[in-house]
Amino acid sequence: MASNFHRAVLIAAAASSVVFAEDRLVNFDLKSDAPLHVESMDDHETRVSSRAGAQVVDLHVVAKLRNTSHDTIRGVTLLLLAQESTPGGKMSVAVPSINVGPNEVFPVRIDGRLMRPAQAGTGAPVRVTIDGVLFKNYEFYGPDRLNSHRQMLAWEMQAERDRKYFKQVLQTAGPGGLRQEMLESLKRQADRPHLDVQLARGRATGDAAALSPDHVAQFAFLQIPDSPIKPMNGFADIARNEAHNPNIEIQNTSPKFIHYVEIAWVVKDMQGREYMAGSVPASEGELYLPPGQRARLLQDTSLRFSHHGGQPVDIQTMKGFVSQVEYSDHTIWIPKRESLKNSDLWRALPPSPEEQRLTDLYNHNGLDALVHELSRF
C-alpha cells in the first residue's frame, strides 16, 4: 500500500490538489482548502472490464484520510464520478458516526460499481471528490450536491441521542444493564424483517400503469408526541406491491417554516407479517410549509415494495410515520428514542448507524471496549 502511494505524483495548484498516477484507477481530487488529506490509497483489487460498449469499474478501495482541520469530524460523504451524464456513472460513499480529531487518520472503504463510455478519454476512470464533511459543532464543509448535509446531520443527531441513552443505561443499571441492552438490540436486528422501497416521481407509465388497483388503502399513521408534523389523513391505490398516487395531508404544528419531510413505512403483507420498508423523501425542494398550514405530499408518485433481491411483497395495509423534518433554517428534527421505543412499531424499526456500530463493537470486542468507546464522547 505504501509503495503504491509513494509512486503517486502530487500535483498542487492554487485551486485544487489532485493525487494522480498513471497506473491508478481511482483519483482523489481534493481542493486546497479541504479538511481531508489522502495519506494512502490501495485500489489494487479494483477492476475495469468492457460490457456492451461501456467500461464497468468494480471498485474495491481502501483509503486512509487525515483530518487536517482544527475540529473533530463526525461524518464524511464522498462523491465518486466515472461519467456524470452516464446512467450508473456516479455514486456516493457515506461514513457516519465517526469521531476523528485534528490530525488523526481514519480508513474509508469504497465498494461499488460504476459505468462509463468505452471511449471516455485517458486518466483514472474514477474521480473522488468531497460532497460534505460534518464537524462536531455541526459546521459543514462541501458543495452538498447530494444533500449530504441534511443526512449527515440527521445521522449525527441520532448518534448523540443513542449514545446518551446507552450512557444513561450504564450509569443507572451498570455494565450488566448495558450488556442486556446490547443483547436485546442484536436480537432485534437479527429478527427484524425489512423490505426495500423505491420511489418513482411522476404518474405511473408502462407496466405499472397497466396494473389495475386491487384496493384503496387508508394509511394508519403513528403519532410521534413531539413531532412538528401532524399527519391528517392519507390513502393510495394498491396494486400488488405498488402504491400509486399516495395522497397524504399534513399540518405544520411547529413555529418554524418547514421545507423537507421524510416518511418511514411499515408494510403488512397478505399473511399478516409486518416489514419495515425504509424512509423516502415526501418532499424534495418544492415544500415551503408555514406554521399552522397544511400541505399534500407524494402526489403523482409511486412506491414499490420488495424483498432484498427484488421479490415483490403483496401489500395488505401500510403504516407511516414522520421520521425526519428539516426546517427552513436547516435545523433538523428526528423522533426521540423513547417515542419510538414506546410505539407498537419498535420491533420493526431499524437501528441508527450509531447503534449498529456500537452493537458490532460489543459483539466483536466485548463490553469493556464498548464502555471505553462511550467514554470518548
Confidence class for position 334, pLDDT limits 50, 70, 90: very high
Q: Who has greater pLDDT, 5 or 288?
A: 288
As a whole-number percent, the residues of the chain with pLDDT over 70 amount to 88
Q: Are 246 and 236 in contact, with CB atoms under 8 Å apart?
A: yes
d(CA 23, CA 194): 42
d(CA 306, CA 294): 31
Q: Are 283 and 261 in contact, with CB atoms under 8 Å apart?
A: yes
pLDDT at 350: 83
Residue 10 has pLDDT above 80, yes or no: no
Q: Looking at 32-137, which runs of residues are DSSP E strands?
A: 36-42, 47-51, 54-67, 73-81, 90-95, 105-117, 126-135
Q: Are 86 and 51 in contact, with CB atoms under 8 Å apart?
A: no
CA angle, 79 then 81 then 85, to 5°? 120
Same fold, 2-146 and 196-349: yes
* Domain limits, the chain: 2-146, 154-191+355-375, 196-349
pLDDT at 123: 75
d(CA 12, CA 38): 13
Residue of 251, 274, 270, 275 lying closest to 261 (CA atoms): 251
pLDDT at 46: 94
Residue of 222, 214, 239 lying closest to 304 (CA atoms): 239
Q: Who has greater pLDDT, 19 or 318?
A: 318
Q: What is the pLDDT of residues 228-255, one digit of tens each?
A: 999 887 888 888 888 888 888 899 999 9
Q: HEC profile for 219-235?
A: CEECCCCCCCEEEEEEE
Residue 234, all three cell numbers: 392519507
Q: Are 328 and 270 in contact, with CB atoms under 8 Å apart?
A: no
Residue of 230, 219, 243 lying closest to 325 (CA atoms): 230
pTM of the model: 0.83
Segment (H or E) for 88: none
Comparing 37-46, 117-126, 365-374, which segment has the lowest mean pLDDT?
A: 117-126
Residue 219 has pLDDT above 90, yes or no: no
d(CA 133, CA 35): 8
Q: Are 317 and 305 in contact, with CB atoms under 8 Å apart?
A: no
Residue 27, all three cell numbers: 483519483
CA atoms within 13 A on the CB side of 63: 23
pLDDT at 43: 92
Query: Would you give the distance in Å from CA 187 to the centre of its chain?
Result: 23
Q: Which CATH number is 196-349's, of 2.60.40, 1.10.287, 2.30.30, 3.40.50?
A: 2.60.40
C-alpha distances out from residue 340 to 65, 223, 343, Å = 36, 10, 5
Q: Which CATH number is 2-146's, of 2.115.10, 2.40.10, 2.60.40, 3.40.30?
A: 2.60.40
pLDDT at 34: 97
d(CA 233, CA 228): 16
Average of per-residue pLDDT values in the chain: 85
pLDDT at 304: 86
Q: What is the pLDDT of residues 52-89, one digit of tens each?
A: 778 899 999 999 999 999 999 999 999 999 987 778 89
208 Cβ neighbours under 8 A, 6+ residues apart: 200, 239, 242, 244, 302, 304
